[in-house]
Amino acid sequence: MSAGREEVPRAARLVVVSADIVSSDQFFGYANGLLCAGLLKRIFIDECHTVIMDISYRAKLGELIGLHRFGCPMVLLTATLPVVLEDWFRGEMLAKSAIIVRDRTIKLNCQYQVQQVKRGMGALEERTVEVTRQLDRDMAGREKGVIYCRSKKQCEAIAEEIGCGFHHSGMSEKECVEARSAWVDGRASRWIAATTGLGTGIDIEGIVAVVYMEKPYGLVDFVQQTGRGGRRAGEVVKSIVVHDGRPERQDPHRSFADSINQAQMEAFISTPGCQRAVISAFMDGIAGETCNDVDGASLCDQCEPNR
């Protein structure tokens, strides 16, 4: 069910609703009809961490609390809600008494790397292209990679330099689908340049490299996007952040969640110790756990020299 539809199915067993219309009269009328007929059993909210983490959707996602009016069980799903933000999330979603079932966010088959270049015209782009081409030489079969950029302009520029497709919010839905399909099906380059929109809800075989041109917005974003890689048995994903040390602009209106998310990304970038340890502490509340403490974990570039 999405915006623009005049009719919705009347007897579906499962209805998928986009977040932008959950507060619409159309949806509430439909859901009330199901409730009155005794057919509305549960409401699932996927990627629910975006309620507090995704600034571009926060206004609409905040309206999800209105779903409590239906009085049926709600199941909130996410793999990337930091432990430190649990209480705030409960408050935002009116879910103070909710039971939380957690698993570790640890990704054994991910090799984390951080590369800092000297500031200069085109230095960041040049190094990103070099890294991408180095990784490309080691790829085989249906293996592929993603280059995450901070802006649509960057996204298109790096795509042109590398000779691959791109994916961002300035494109039509049809254009995005075609870009993704050509990349996934192997009809185009092994690589795709993208903004953050490609990080949510995709499950694609063969992603073995995730490159960031500039620091990600926050550590949750980074974990989410890196998690798109290495999703099949035997796959190992290399996650490489290329940055020039430029500090983030200060925003006095930034929320607590945004501030801590960004601060933890800075900690990941600048730590002299294990990068995996920063992720484990923030996401799972496990302090001091390095790559060498985790059986079968790929080593980050800080732990590799110490083995």
124 lies in the same domain as 178: yes
179 lies in the same domain as 288: yes
132 lies in the same domain as 210: yes
**Which pLDDT score, from 0 to 100, does residue 55 have?**
64
182 lies in the same domain as 242: yes
Q: Tell me, yes or no, whether 184 lies in a domain.
A: yes
Domain count along the chain: 2
Distances (CA, A) of 161 to 55, 154, 194, 275: 30, 11, 14, 30
Q: Which of these, 245, 283, 287, lies nearest to 264 by C-alpha position?
A: 283
29 lies in the same domain as 163: no
Asked if residue 198 has pLDDT above 80, the reply is no
**Which pLDDT score, from 0 to 100, does residue 204 have?**
85
Residue range 5-31, pLDDT digits in tens: 555 555 678 888 877 778 788 888 889
Provide the residue range defining the domain that includes 69. 19-92
- Integer Cα distance of 307 and 300 in angstroms: 11
122 lies in the same domain as 56: no
192 lies in the same domain as 261: yes
pTM value? 0.85
* Beta bridge partners of residue 238, listed in sequence order: 111, 209
Asked if residue 177 has pLDDT above 70, the reply is yes
Supply the CATH number for residue 294's domain: 3.40.50.300
Q: Can you tell me the mean pLDDT for 195-201? A: 70
187 lies in the same domain as 286: yes
* Beta bridge partners of residue 243, listed in sequence order: 116
210 lies in the same domain as 253: yes
Q: When comparing pLDDT for 253 and 189, which is higher?
A: 189
Q: Tell me, yes or no, whether 83 lies in a domain.
A: yes
